[in-house]
Structure 1
Amino acid sequence: MRKSLLRMTFRQLQIFRAVCDNRSYSRAAEEMALTQPAVSLQIRQLEELVGQPLFDYVGKKLYLTDAAEVLQRASADIFGRLESLDMQLTDLQGSLQGQLSLAVESSAKYFVPHLFAAFRREYPEVSLQLTVVNHTQAIRRLSANRDDLLIISQVPSDMDLEFLPFLNNPIIAVAPADHPLCSQPSLHLQDLTGWPLLVREPGSGTRRACEEYCHQKRAHFAQTQEVGSMEGLCEGVIAGLGLALLPRHAVRRELQTGVLRELPVVELPLLRSWCVVHPRGKYLSPVAQAFFTFVRNQRTQIGALAEHFGGAGNSPQ
């Protein structure tokens, strides 16, 4: 090992990670309670130790160099090991403590807090850092090893991942309560194509799954409108802007109150499984391992919780 690398400090790595996360020296300085010149000095010293530049400016945007990408992954592992050490030391004292860093696709954000609450009843001293992302952002976070675990609905086949399917994610067609299609006893996807369809942004896993399924069923919507959030889609349907294909969990309250109706489409629901995921070979902290084990061993409890939460809780086989 190069001796220069041994002169790195944890503080330098913390500042480096703040710059990576914020893509800005000034925002990193604000986050770290430092001046911008102090951040610049620490990054320059770190670059001298690494022997390569870490950041490039193109226009007014900050980009990570290849060296920075490598250092970012290494620093995530270093701080993850420190967090794991802290957890193991508290575990030796008789209780599991620490923070679970969990990233979830937006379709899972409604159910996951209930899942974590069930986990926390067994481990009351564990806290949660929850990040909500779309599918594309989730894959980027997996590549950068940003989180302890991720919950996603479509596991990429081109990455070496350990994953555990644990709950069905049913996608249904919804319409406002006074929509003409609500009076029909039975529908096919083709019957919906004469109406505008509200869709998520291109990076959404729900949008990708629905587009692939509709293409397979030869149901082509001539009119689509893009809305960049699950909540926005829901409000758009209520407002009468169009129909939508949404996870049942995401609209459970609107279905219960009657402002939205689930359309009786023969080809639906489209079932996808939520999976808890991490890179294969990744060292899991005691808290992350406990959560993964909880999800694997408590299928019956999770299914019952999902039934109570949203009426769609069968676990995948």
Structure 2
Amino acid sequence: MRMTLRQLQVFTAVCESRSYSRAAEEMALTQPAVSLQIRQLEELVGQPLFEYIGKKLYLTDAADALKRASADIFQRLENLDMQLSDLQGSLQGQLNLAVESSAKYFVPHLFAAFKRQHPEVNLHLSVVNRAQVIKRLADNRDDLVIMSLVPQDMALEFLPFLNNPIVAVAPPDHPLCSAGQLTLKDLEPYPLLIREPGSGTRKACEEYFQQKHAHFAQTLEVGSLDALRESVAAGLGLALLPRHAVSLELATGLLRELAVEELPLYRSWCVVHARGKRVSPVGQAFLAFIRAERTQISALAARFAGTLPGPHPGS
């Protein structure tokens, strides 16, 4: 086979966009040029790579196999580039990181601390819910992912590195804010705002409610963490949210943390990758940073949560 990297780049663009025309725009090519590259690849492979059903483009089994091989090739080339830069005394490259949406508030601060040690490393951050994180792990889309509730039915390596406290929050004029010590049962008469199916926070809370025999008859599903936080502030109900996600609102008084006896619910943030995965040099450096800098990470998290005033750790 005499495939070219350019052909594989075009093929990958078609796979991701499921459209010849969108792939052409992305690659700054004409649509006939994209079609020609795909036809040449199909001749080399000896099988069709795509098929149209209705107006939708689908990958054939041959395309799925070629897509996995292409991803492996490009990952190896990227790793080679990182290794060569490392040999020159400077770690360079891009860290492809996927995180659960409730971690998006803390992770940029974590990466900033890492970047102070490796200033030539850049970040590509994908923010998704737990279900999407699991799919990205299965598809080997990222160098590393950060999530809680690591699935036990997948072959994964994971490193817990930080507590993720989930707390009950309410608007400041809510009657429970002046009620003193509470239990989960005290929250049950009020509407509870919950995340969409697939959310890690929702899954953790539902399992905890079942364990504690807590039942909320009135629930309202809100499709993003930001919208849920604003819905609480608007007085639509209570919510259980990661404290990191509402630190600013708690500090400014826009929201209040309720003193619930059974809370916070603690889950650990973990950095995760597939078992046996060839982690890129940048990914390996990020893992080494997390292992070596637990004290700095804990201090950074405390400052981010508004409990430790002062400059950034390491600055």
- Normalising by the smaller structure, the TM-score range is over 0.9
The one of 248, 255, 262 equivalent to 2:257 is 262
Moved more, 14-23 or 118-127: 14-23
- 2:60 paired with 1:71: no
How do 1:154-165 and structure 2 match up within 5 A?
154-165=149-160
Contact kept, 8 Å, 2:192 with 2:216, in 1: the verdict is yes
SS in 2 for 1:121: helix
Could you report, residue by residue, the CA deviation over 1:13-55 in whole angstroms, capped at 9, with x for unpaired residues?
1112212222322222211112223222222322332233333
Contact kept, 8 Å, 1:168 with 1:312, in 2: the verdict is no
Aligned to 2:190: 195
Q: How far apart are the structure 2 equivalents of 1:39 and 1:312?
A: 55
- 2:14 paired with 1:19: yes
- 2:117 paired with 1:122: yes
How do 1:1-317 and structure 2 match up within 5 A?
4=1, 7-310=2-305
* TM-score of the aligned structures, taking structure 1 as reference length: 0.93
Q: How far apart are the structure 1 equivalents of 2:244 and 2:213?
A: 26
1:203 CA drift (Å): 1.4
SS in 2 for 1:154: coil
Contact kept, 8 Å, 1:197 with 1:223, in 2: the verdict is yes
Q: Which amino acid aligns with 1:53?
A: P
Contact kept, 8 Å, 2:251 with 2:306, in 1: the verdict is no
Q: How far apart are the structure 2 equivalents of 1:223 and 1:169?
A: 26
1:296 CA drift (Å): 1.2
Moved more, 231-240 or 199-208: 199-208
1:288 CA drift (Å): 0.9
* TM-score of the aligned structures, taking structure 2 as reference length: 0.93
SS in 2 for 1:208: helix
Contact kept, 8 Å, 1:72 with 1:144, in 2: the verdict is no
Task: Give 4+ residue runs of structure 1 displaced > 6 Å after superposition.
Answer: none
Q: Which amino acid aligns with 2:243?
A: R
Contact kept, 8 Å, 1:73 with 1:145, in 2: the verdict is no
CA 1:193/1:169 → structure 2, altered by over 3 Å: closer, same or farther? same
Q: How far apart are the structure 2 equivalents of 1:59 and 1:201?
A: 31
Q: Which amino acid aligns with 2:61?
A: D
Q: Which amino acid aligns with 1:29?
A: A
Q: How far apart are the structure 1 equivalents of 2:194 and 2:116?
A: 37
1:312 CA drift (Å): 7.8
CA 1:56/1:210 → structure 2, altered by over 3 Å: closer, same or farther? farther
1:71 CA drift (Å): 2.3
Could you report, residue by residue, the CA deviation over 1:213-232 in whole angstroms, capped at 9, with x for unpaired residues?
11221112112111111110
1:82 CA drift (Å): 0.6
SS in 1 for 2:272: strand
Q: Which amino acid aligns with 1:297?
A: A
Contact kept, 8 Å, 2:193 with 2:237, in 1: the verdict is yes
CA 1:67/1:159 → structure 2, altered by over 3 Å: closer, same or farther? farther
Q: How far apart are the structure 1 equivalents of 2:182 and 2:52?
A: 54
1:200 CA drift (Å): 1.2
Q: CA RMSD in A?
A: 1.6
Q: Which amino acid aligns with 2:91?
A: L
Q: Which amino acid aligns with 2:92?
A: Q
Q: How far apart are the structure 2 equivalents of 1:35 and 1:213?
A: 54
CA 1:51/1:136 → structure 2, altered by over 3 Å: closer, same or farther? farther
1:311 CA drift (Å): 5.0
1:209 CA drift (Å): 1.1
1:59 CA drift (Å): 3.5
